[in-house]
Amino acid sequence: MQTRNSSLLCGELMNKMLKESSFLFLADLKDNNHREWFQNNRKRYEDAKLDFLQFIEKIVEDLCKEDPTLKGILAKDTLFRINKDTRFSKDKSPYKTNFGSGISRDGKKLPVAGYYFHLEPGKSFLAAGIYMPEPEKLKVIREEIAYDSHELDAVFNKPSFRRFFNDFDTFDKLANAPKGFDKHHPKLEWLKQKSFIVSANLSDDELRSAKAVEKVSSLFRETVPLILLINKWLGK
C-alpha cells in the first residue's frame, strides 16, 4: 500500500464500496479468534484489509476537499493494527474483530481532533471529535466553551448537522461541574464532557451498497466544522 495509486491525494482515487467478503472475514474471525485460524486465512485478511484501505482512500479523497489538513495522508497511516494488546485484559483472544481507521493530519495517532471509521459486522459506526484529550487540552476546550460558545452553538444548530448528530456522546461525562467552572453555567452539560465526540451507527446494508462512500462521506463532511473549531481552539 505504498505506491502512488494508494496514496490519499485529492482527486486521484477510484470509486469504491465495501465487499461482502470483508464482512464475512470479520464474522468468521469472531468465531475463530486464534492464531492458527488467522494464519490459515491470512490471504482473506490481506484482501479484506486492502478492501478497507481502498474504501478509506475514497473517504479521505472527499474529506480533504473540506479539511485540507488531510491532504497527502496515506491510508496505511490511518489503520489500527488488528492485533490486540492482551496484557491487561481478561479476554486473551489475539485479534480485534473490526477494522478501524483514525483519520487526522497525523494519521491514526489523533493528538488533535479527527475522524474515526469502524467496520464490524452489525456494529459499524463513524465518529468525529477528540477522545479523552490530555488535561491541558481538555482545560483549553472547556475554557473556550465557557467564555464564548457561539461557534460551537452554530455547529450544533445547523439543520443538516442536527439530522445526524444531536449532541456529544456522553460515555465518559462527569456527574458534576469540573473543578474551577461555574456549576450554574448555561453550557454546563458541555463543560462536563471529558471527550468531545459525535457519532453515528451504520448498518451492514448501508456499507455494502453502491452509495456507501456517499453515505459515510456526507456524514463526515457535516463534522468538518466541529473538527476545525476544536483544532483552532488547540492552536492546531
| Domain that residue 69 falls in | 4-233
Whether the pLDDT of residue 231 is over 90: the answer is yes
The model's pLDDT over 83-113, given as tens digits with 9 standing for 90+, comes to 998 787 788 899 999 999 999 987 666 678 9
Whether the pLDDT of residue 75 is over 90: the answer is no
**What CA–CA distance (Å, rounded) separates 142 from 192?**
8
The amino acid at residue 19 is K
* Beta sheet of 114-119, edge-to-edge order: 99-103, 114-119, 124-130, 196-202
The model's pLDDT over 18-50, given as tens digits with 9 standing for 90+, comes to 999 999 999 999 999 999 999 999 999 999 999
193 secondary structure, DSSP code: -
Its sign, for the CA torsion 138, 143, 144, 148, is: positive
The model's pLDDT over 159-201, given as tens digits with 9 standing for 90+, comes to 999 999 999 999 999 999 999 999 999 999 999 999 999 999 9
Whether the pLDDT of residue 9 is over 80: the answer is no
Whether the pLDDT of residue 204 is over 80: the answer is yes
The predicted structure's pLDDT at residue 109: 67
pTM above 0.85, yes or no: yes
Q: At 76, is the secondary structure helix, strand, or coil? A: helix
Number of domains in the chain: 1
| pLDDT tier, 209 (very low <50, low <70, confident <90, very high otherwise) | very high
CATH number at residue 88: 3.30.930
Q: Residues 211-229: what's their mean pLDDT? A: 96
